[in-house]
Amino acid sequence: MAEPRASLHPRRRRIDGVTAGLTLLAIIAFAVVAGPWLSPYGYDEQALALLGQPRPPSLSHWLGTDELGRDVLTRLLYGGRISLAVGLAGAAVATGAGTLIGALAGYFGGWIDQLLMRFTDVMLSIPALPLVLVIAGLIRPAPTLLVLLIATLIWPGAARLVRSHVRSIRKLDYVAAAQTLGAGSARIIARHVLPNAVPAIAVSATIAVGGAIMLESALSFLGFGIQPPVPTWGNLLNEAAPWLVSAPWMSIPPGALILLSVVAVNLVGDGLRVRGSGL
C-alpha cells in the first residue's frame, strides 16, 4: 500500500510546483498592476520633510522612504510594472524569433540547418552582458530598444530547444503523409509541426522570461537600462546600494521580488518540461 503512494509523490510535487509558480506570478502581477493605483503617493512624489535621509517603515510608509522622501513601496510596485513588462516583451520577441529559426533549421535540415545553427552558436558564444553594456553605453536604450537588445541575446536558447523537438517531429508519419499529399513546407510547419512543438516552445518561453527579467534588472542596476526617476527593480537596487547597511528596507524588497519572479517562472518551466516529456 505504501509503494503506490510513494510513486505518486514526484508527480504531485511537480503539479504543486507549477501551481505554486503560477500562483506566485499572479500575486506579483496583481500587486504591481493594482498597487500603484491604490497608493496615495506618486512614484516620484517627494515629502519635503523627509528629505536627506531614508526613513524606516511606518504606518504612513509601509516600506519606509528613500533619501529623497519618496515612498519605497509605491516605487517598488511601479517599478515592477516596468521590469515585468520589459522582461515579458523581451521574452516574447526572443521566443518568436527562436521558434522561427529553430523550426526552419529542424524541418529542412541540410545546409539550412548548418547555416542557422552556426549563426546560433556564434550568438551563444558572445558574452551577453558585456555586449549589451557596450551598446547601451553608445545608445541610451528606450524601453523598445531595451526589449530588442534583450531578445537578441536570449533567442538562441529557444532556437536550439525548438530545433531539437522539430527534428523528431518531422520524422513522424503524419508529416510524411502531408508531404505525400503535396502540402507545402510552410503549411506543414504551421499546421502540423509547430502545434506539436508547443511543449518545447512553452518551456523555452518560461526560460526566456526568467533570463529577460534578470538581464533587465542587471542592466538597470548598472545604470544602462531604464533611467531614473522612472523606477525599475534594477535601478532601485542601484539607488539603495549606498544605504545597504543603514537602510536595508530599500534594497531587500526589490531583490526579493526579482528572486521570487525568476523562481516562479522556473517552477512553471520545469513543470511544463516534465509534463511535455510525459514523466
Q: Given this model, what pLDDT does residue 14 score? A: 45
Exposure of 142 by Cβ count < 10 A (0-12 exposed, 13-18 middle, 19+ buried)?
Answer: exposed
The residues pairing with 55 across neighbouring beta strands, listed in sequence order, are 65
Position 150, amino acid: I
pTM of the model: 0.83
Q: Could you report the per-residue pLDDT of 229-248, keeping only the tens digit for each?
A: 889 999 999 999 889 888 89
Stretches in the chain below the pLDDT threshold 70: 1-16, 136, 140-141, 275-279
Please tell me the predicted confidence (pLDDT) of residue 1. 44
Tell me the per-residue pLDDT of 130-161, one tens digit each, with 9 for 90 and over.
777 777 677 766 788 888 888 988 899 899 99
Q: What is the pLDDT of residue 98?
A: 93
Query: What distances in angstroms separate CA 114 from CA 95, 108, 120, one per listed residue?
Result: 20, 10, 10
Phi then psi for 65, rounded to 5 degrees? -130, 160
Residues contacting residue 165 through CB under 8 Å, at least 6 positions apart? 102, 106, 197, 199, 200
